[in-house]
Structure 1
């Protein structure tokens, strides 16, 4: 067990380092096979996407899948690759911080993506309460002896958050600063489409920022703006399913 924890600590340290060098690009995966493809391509870390994993398991996104199934799938990913793995843990599945940390470490994960949407109430969670929960996750990881890398997702740019469009940047900054102070390693304002918005967030948030590509935001632009990490969510899963659909339909013609 000590050897396993030492290995997890080494991987966690490496994952954290990857947020402070060349931009970390994470083509998110959904199973052991897709994880192996990404790792063998040369990416230094692997990240799961909850929307892709839940769809693969036959459940809706947004904590619609039982956490046991989600963690089992993530565990298969972690066992399949020799690089650090970070898990999209959605909003934490209602777990207490120590339970979340223990379960992540049990499956071999050294990072987690956690969002501030409250799936039970609908809309955003209270920022202060969520920051306190993140602080307890950080404390639990410290007690376990593994510097778990926390990517704190800020959902103000998602339409379902209910945040008025003019307020989205300011609210993302407010929340992101709280989450950073609570111990998050990286802040992820998901769904930002504007170059100006992501530039402001990178400037105003005192930590690495996770971005997404889009019409205005290719990898070169994100790199130029100082984005530290780039996620793709379920994009590659959906592309793979689209290719499968096209291929099987051709069998009928």
Structure 2
């Protein structure tokens, strides 16, 4: 499947559902279950490689993992590329396309502001924990997305993550900034915008309306359903690290039973 075909699956009100994989085996499971696209989760991929999330895994290992996933399935793959690993836009696009992916997530968190470290388990083994989020200036992120679009042409579906809701105590208070960023990213050439961890149905509905008819990627709402997200106008639903966390919790419980 081409990027154009993947792009066409983003339909507001009839969302593309993505249970994120982290290796070739889980990617094959996603395909076998009938899902038309495999997405990766950076936190899950990094954990499977032995590193914490937040661009603290070696970039070569992350791209190699993405390539193994793409080779393992016949459906299109979209890669969680975090904030681009500090790579120039043209190099980032080249390396993504070389994995076999036809889509990517790019977030506006600036990981360089907190340092990338040398990898390995974080203190206490706190997988999936994030340092305090620092956002790139809007203009800088929009310029970067425009450069990615220029380098990729139509060959990559770009899902621009909007991270203002991460750690926000009041989702409505940061909604104006989220909308401003989303509109700028769309104008720069993003195909879809992703207000990650926006868990308030009313605020999500306002966000979707503000950027309409653009595609919006949502996460499951607390106690909600895919049908509810469809009714709110979502065009894409990412389960993120949910499947990985559930799998790991099951494994830990299994180990506890036999120890």
Fold-level match, TM-score > 0.5? Answer: yes
1:40 Cα deviation (Å)? 0.8
* 4+ long deviations beyond 4 Å: 162-166
1:179-220 CA distances to partner (integer Å, 9 max, x unpaired)?
A: 000000000000111110110011001310000102153211
> How high is the TM-score relative to the length of structure 2?
0.89
Matches within 5 A, 1:37-52: 37-52=29-44
Matches within 5 A, 1:1-253: 10-20=1-11, 22-122=14-114, 123-142=134-153, 146-159=154-167, 165-206=171-212, 207-252=214-259
More divergent stretch after superposition (102-111 vs 207-216): 207-216
Per the alignment, do residues 116 and 93 of structure 1 end up closer, same or farther by CA in structure 2, a change over 3 Å counting?
Answer: same
Per the alignment, do residues 166 and 202 of structure 1 end up closer, same or farther by CA in structure 2, a change over 3 Å counting?
Answer: closer
Aligned to 1:3: none
1:100-142 CA distances to partner (integer Å, 9 max, x unpaired)?
A: 1100111100000000000111510011110011001000011
Any idea what SS the aligned residue of 1:83 has? coil
Partners of 1:190 and 1:48 in 2: CA distance: 15
1:56 Cα deviation (Å)? 0.9
1:165 Cα deviation (Å)? 4.8
1:225-244 CA distances to partner (integer Å, 9 max, x unpaired)?
A: 11000001111011111111
> How high is the TM-score relative to the length of structure 1?
0.91
Any idea what SS the aligned residue of 2:185 has? helix
CA contact (8 A) 1:14 1:84 kept: no
Partners of 1:165 and 1:34 in 2: CA distance: 33
Partners of 1:198 and 1:115 in 2: CA distance: 18
Unaligned runs of 5+ in 2: 115-133
More divergent stretch after superposition (14-23 vs 204-213): 14-23
Relative to its length, the structure with more helix (as a share) is 1
Aligned to 1:7: none
CA contact (8 A) 1:195 1:217 kept: no
Unaligned runs of 5+ in 1: 1-9
Q: Bigger relative contact order, structure 1 or 2, given CA contacts below 8 A and separation 6+? A: 2
Alignment RMSD (CA, Å): 1.4
Any idea what SS the aligned residue of 1:120 has? helix
